[in-house]
Amino acid sequence: MPLQRGEVRGFNFDRMVVEFTMLDQDQVIPCAISTAAMDDLEGKRDVKPQERVDQFMRLREVIEEQASRKFFEEQNRADRPVVLRSNDFSIVASIRRPHRS
């Protein structure tokens, strides 16, 4: 059973990540996604710090799906955060990127 949606905790400027949680039954799984990964997914580079949570919300479904997949593939424990980086989305990003001739 995939992880369930938790809460968005917000943008952490020091770590350059958006922090959020997922739920594994009654266990809260801390998660984070790098701003670089979100920029790669969305194909943007000019997102301001105050716009990061909105960017997360636009990409939330694909981010949470990948967080769940990574959690189970790596057999993470609830006490270790799931941190998503650009390479976790390499297939998704290549599909979304416009092809150049």
pLDDT digits (tens, 9 = 90+) for 35-77: 999 999 999 989 999 999 999 999 999 999 999 999 988 876 6
Q: List the alpha helices (DSSP H) in the chain.
A: 35-42, 52-73, 90-96
Phi, psi of 31 (to 5 degrees): -135, 160
> How far, in whole angstroms, is CA 5 from its chain's centroid?
12
pLDDT value of residue 3: 93
| Residue pair 41/85 in contact by the 8 Å Cβ criterion | no
Nearest Cα neighbor of 67 from 18, 12, 14 is 18
Residue 99 scores a pLDDT above 50: no
Position 101 confidence tier, pLDDT thresholds 50, 70, 90:
very low
pTM for this entry: 0.85
Question: What is the average pLDDT value for the chain, to the nearest integer?
Answer: 88
